[in-house]
Structure 1
């Protein structure tokens, strides 16, 4: 009997050694999936590896895997394990036959929002930020705090991408900055939200705004007929026109400062974002509490568009530039009309410099 017992013991022990290990449930420190999420949005591993691929050989990236889903960390550590077919809703099967979930992390309200301004460089900033492995952002503009507030916070939260602990959830909607109700609504969600405002010379911004509208509506009246109440004398600026009104940065900022302290804002120069994208991105990463990963090596200047573009990531086919709607050639505007606008904006610019603590040099 003793010999039989020993035989069975060693046989079972050998069998357990050959059985596939429960790799994914051995790490107890890994954060759990958000069980309250009733909307299952599958997040492909390739989205994360798009930016994480160049970091795989770095020790700090390997260390960071300890805080992610063990299923995700295992796949990132074993790139040869490709997802091959379905194992049910939300699962795929690896080469080893082990089910792997393609959803990870949880949905949270954004910790940082790019709130403005239109035609200031917000799309460029968001695309540059998305290179960072610790930034997850909504691609389309949610417009929650200006257009869809009645749909409720849960609707808004479900628009967000899933994030892991230590990652920053972001969105950008430039019209928030000029929407009177937005500051109170956003503070009602979280008064600790970090706010990024991309600003640009208001005269150049107005012309760019007009150019965009003109591309969609070729029959639009001339710039000066919209910017001035009397286009022949150019005597009175028409601040009811949105292209002019958006550039009154000081007035819009006053509404936000009633609900958020100045320390919660970062004002990004649209001009410096073009001239020195790495330098301006360094300030943004510091403000968000992120390691400075996005830098000079990620950018090159596209002479055709007149904007910096992202160099192609390792394994990608081509560089990433902003769409054809960016970098349009502006129509010719009479110099006297532009000078009248500069004179009009000057006191507002000076006030904005004082309020923000930055001189943007537009004057």
Structure 2
């Protein structure tokens, strides 16, 4: 029976049993060689599924997003490794294709949690990180709609949610950085404006893991030129590109929101101008949404 189609109580039992077995077998399990770290509402699910279709890539066993390095770090490395395939599965793939198998997961909050990058650098010292970016105005609006749909946001007006953001996030980043056990619901779910300030998060990640281990992808370009971008990602990850490419689809996509208040759109666009300029230094060119403006 497909676990995804099970009733939630039964699914929890299955996941609990799988994690318990996984912990016992953790020494014989794979360790991720790369992670999709963000950003939220930037096409991470679509890239995850494309990479999961690569013949030498084995995806996480239970969830695409494990959330170990942000909200579950207290569970320990054995708990984390419980989410990944056995080494014998990797050996079979390697024998079949003559290329080392890899495994990965996708947790977009890793990009934003103040302690995630240092934890990744410590526990996965050779892992490569993939980051997707998107027009930050559209990203913020999409996140708000997403959080409302999931029941995580009670303020249904986007402008109202933006107005609440400073108070909701007051000192949350500092507390998360200071206290490894602290959790902030607002920081994870209500940081609409802040999430699009991509360069400052990338700079923190680079300080810990090194810039050469981070690959940035514009989601607009990924959806417009999926084959080219996919090949570039595979090259960065050391994955062969001579296999047949997967079918590229959009997942969890929400259409461009044309009903945003024009004044609010202008304010957000102006807010992101210096952040886009900083991101351009990462990309080596102006972000695609600025070039189309």
Give the alignment's TM-score, normalised by structure 1: 0.59
2:274 matches 1:347: yes
Name structure 2 gaps, 5 residues minimum.
Answer: 1-21, 95-99, 170-189
Post-superposition shift, 1:298?
Answer: 3.8
The 5 Å alignment of 1:126-205 reads 126-138=48-60, 139-162=63-86, 163-164=90-91, 165=94, 166-205=100-139
Q: Which has the larger radius of gyration?
A: 1
- For residues 293 and 208 of structure 1, the distance between their equivalents in structure 2, rounded to whole angstroms, comes to 35
Q: 1:201 to 1:161 in 2, by over 3 A?
A: same
2:158 matches 1:220: no
Q: 1:227 to 1:294 in 2, by over 3 A?
A: farther
- For residues 141 and 223 of structure 1, the distance between their equivalents in structure 2, rounded to whole angstroms, comes to 26
Retained in 2: the 8 A contact 1:116–1:198?
yes
Q: Which residue of 1 aligns with 2:16?
A: none
- For residues 268 and 227 of structure 2, the distance between their equivalents in structure 1, rounded to whole angstroms, comes to 31
Q: 1:121 to 1:357 in 2, by over 3 A?
A: same
2:216 matches 1:282: no
Further displaced range: 109-118 or 158-167: 158-167
Residue from 246, 249, 265 that aligns with 1:338:
265
Post-superposition shift, 1:287?
Answer: 0.7
Residue from 204, 209, 231 that aligns with 1:255:
204
Retained in 2: the 8 A contact 1:239–1:245?
no
Aligned length: 236
Give the alignment's TM-score, normalised by structure 2: 0.73
Q: 1:182 to 1:40 in 2, by over 3 A?
A: closer
Local SS of the residue matching 1:159: coil
Post-superposition shift, 1:358?
Answer: 4.5
Q: 1:227 to 1:120 in 2, by over 3 A?
A: same
- For residues 211 and 294 of structure 1, the distance between their equivalents in structure 2, rounded to whole angstroms, comes to 37
Name structure 1 gaps, 5 residues minimum.
Answer: 1-36, 42-105, 230-235, 300-307, 310-320
- For residues 283 and 355 of structure 1, the distance between their equivalents in structure 2, rounded to whole angstroms, comes to 16
- For residues 57 and 201 of structure 2, the distance between their equivalents in structure 1, rounded to whole angstroms, comes to 27
RMSD between aligned alpha carbons? 2.7
Retained in 2: the 8 A contact 1:121–1:198?
yes
Retained in 1: the 8 A contact 2:130–2:215?
yes
- The structure with the largest helix share of the pair is 2
Q: 1:354 to 1:144 in 2, by over 3 A?
A: same
Post-superposition shift, 1:288?
Answer: 0.9
- For residues 219 and 185 of structure 1, the distance between their equivalents in structure 2, rounded to whole angstroms, comes to 32
2:224 matches 1:270: no
Moved over 6 A (4+): 236-239
Post-superposition shift, 1:190?
Answer: 2.4
C-alpha deviations, 1:111-150, integer Å up to 9, x for none?
1000111101110001011111111111431000011111
The higher-RCO structure (CA 8 Å, 6+ apart) is 2
Q: Which residue of 2 aligns with 1:12?
A: none
- For residues 238 and 335 of structure 1, the distance between their equivalents in structure 2, rounded to whole angstroms, comes to 24
C-alpha deviations, 1:44-74, integer Å up to 9, x for none?
xxxxxxxxxxxxxxxxxxxxxxxxxxxxxxx
Q: Which residue of 2 aligns with 1:206?
A: 140
